[in-house]
Structure 1
Amino acid sequence: MKEVPIGVSARHIHLSEEHIATLFGKGYELTILKDLSQPGQFAAVETVAVKGKKGEFSKVRILGPARKHTQIELSQTDAFAIGVSPPIRESGHIEGTPGVTIIGPEGQVELETGVIIAARHIHFHTKDAERWNIKDKQLLRVQLKGKRPLTFDDVIARVSDQYALDFHIDTDEGNAAGVKTGETAVILD
């Protein structure tokens, strides 16, 4: 059986160095709150406000380290609440996506693009992918056996020697299946 740990991902933001400086001040370094499942990734102590056309979220967690481009990942429910219509995309694919206003303690950023609903995906270390004969970008079927069992199609395999095995879904998907971070899912053949 191909069991993978589940990581339910709440709304969060990845900031570029430039935007960290604008929001928190020149030379500012994010403070690690806790390490995440992917090596080198962390949740920062710092948060920002994210404002859309209809509303805003006041404490959106920043995930570090800094990235080349700022990106906000919301669930469909979150997007509706603040009045944006982001597409479902793989992380980093922000072309043609909507923007929002990001507000920090030292300034704000009018982001033109960067809001997505993250496509559900599984991070595979190359050794895990080889063991199960899974290729990068392969689409998988994954079964969640929570309180409300669901099977997800079109789960994207992301393979790298920089990854740790983890199935990433958003809060809408986790709530729909009644699962939490740390539970397991099964990749179906």
Structure 2
Amino acid sequence: MDRIGTIMGVVTVPMALLTVASIVAGLWLLVAGPASVVVLGIFASAAGLAIAWLLEQLVALLDDLALAIQVRRGAAAKRGAALVCGIAPMLVVIAWEYECLHLLVRFGVPATMFATWLWSYGVATGPWTLFAQLVGSDRRTLCGIRAYAGHLAYWLLSAASLAGLPDMLCLTLMALPAALPVTVGTLLAVADRQALRNVRI
């Protein structure tokens, strides 16, 4: 477990560097063009943050639904509802990141395409990373894990797209890092609410 924790810690270094690089790339695009990509990315980032907030409200609602289902239909039904709590958020994250990459690249130009990709990285992953810092402490662990998986998913999407792989395969690869937040989200949904108050990141 210590080794896994060390690896995960090391992986956060390129995540942080790429996030900083995405901001630099945005400033560069304002100068070198097309500036429209930057403007689009800013609006997309704001929309992504709003989606992250709405998504968390949905997850909380689904958590309550899972508890209600347990009372009426038993533990097995609760686990099924909890699985939805784990899967649904990552489906949104994956779809959001996939659309961000294709949307911003579509508006980019060949001369500054690498800068456009860097900018798209920040636009796609930034909302989840920022929201994980803003959310309440009782939800911060899961949101942080979800943001972490989002970064990994974007790496895989970028590599797969560069290799010219089919869209469906790209989406399948993006789903691999989702296993961790899906598992944690499912477990938290079936956990005791009093115990969740002690969870911190």
TM-score by length of 2: 0.22
User: As a proportion of its length, which structure holds more helix?
Assistant: 2
* Higher Cα radius of gyration: 2
User: As a proportion of its length, which structure holds more strand?
Assistant: 1
TM-score by length of 1: 0.23
